[in-house]
Amino acid sequence: MPSNKHHTALYSAANAYMSLWHLVGDGSPVQTASSYLVPVTRDGFPAMLKVTSDPDELRGNHLMTLWDGQGAAAVIEHDRYALLLERAVSGRTLADFVYAGLDDDATRTLCKTAERLHTVSLLNQEKMRPLKSWFTALLESSSSRAVWLKNCACQAQNLLNTPQEQIALHGDLHHGNVLDFGPRGWLAIDPKGLYGERTADFAALFLNPDLADPQRPYAISPKRFEQRIRLVSSHAGVEPVRLLRWIQAWSGLSAVWFIEEGKTPDIQRTVAYLASAALS
């Protein structure tokens, strides 16, 4: 966890950028493990100031500038450690769609957003984090884990050894990271800045919105899982078996992160089993 000294540094930097970019506070700041976020306005326009020194977050910031508002929130200003983005104010989420019985619409929206993001050319892939590096936690710990996690790790290793259609990836594309920006439509935020196989970018949505709200299980429904596979395969143009393999691998990675935080990865285990069963 970042130290209090680190948090203080982010707070001080945010104040400096508030002055530099002529911003006015428009809500309570949010302190995360890696970033300091401040809702602001500039000339009456709602925006979000993000200040971070975290390497993964900085890679994501770089990718946001490359997307240039195409499928993602527009970057108004950027500096080495700071990003000023347009801010969604409607309050509508894709999770709301899911709980209203409109999961198909939410899934299609995620696929459309991914399509826009994936068309952007990556000029320098060295600024992105390779998927093989992203999966380190799963690959290096699998020998001491449960059998189902070992299977996830094996799946991940095989996929990473045979990459297809490699591009810049969002890395965390799900219901909480694609927001309603009104006339501009549904746009992505908070990318991780990865580089790897395109199909991998659709895996995270199969764990959500359950990870954000486990008391309202939805993604773990076998019927909904099967329907999501059909929709993503069709609308994203990815091969179903390859997609299932990435879902199993991604579920294992997410589970290891949960375990490291002292949490129980029930959702990840269930989704991994659903993917494994569909592959059998």
From the candidates 26, 79, 105, 172, give the one annotated as an active-site residue.
Answer: 172
Beta strands in the chain (DSSP E): 24-25, 30-31, 35-42, 45-52, 75-78, 82-86, 129-130, 166-169, 178-180, 186-188, 194-197
**CA distances to 37, 85, 139, 254 from 47, in Å:** 10, 5, 39, 30
Measured CA to CA, the distance from residue 89 to residue 141 in angstroms comes to 41
Phi/psi of residue 100, nearest 5 degrees = -90, 10
Strands 129-130 and 194-197: parallel
- Which of 177, 180, 216 has its CA nearest to residue 91? 180
Measured CA to CA, the distance from residue 64 to residue 170 in angstroms comes to 9
Question: Known catalytic residue: 266?
Answer: no
Query: Quick check: helix, strand or coil at residue 169?
Result: strand
Kindly list the catalytic residues.
Answer: 172
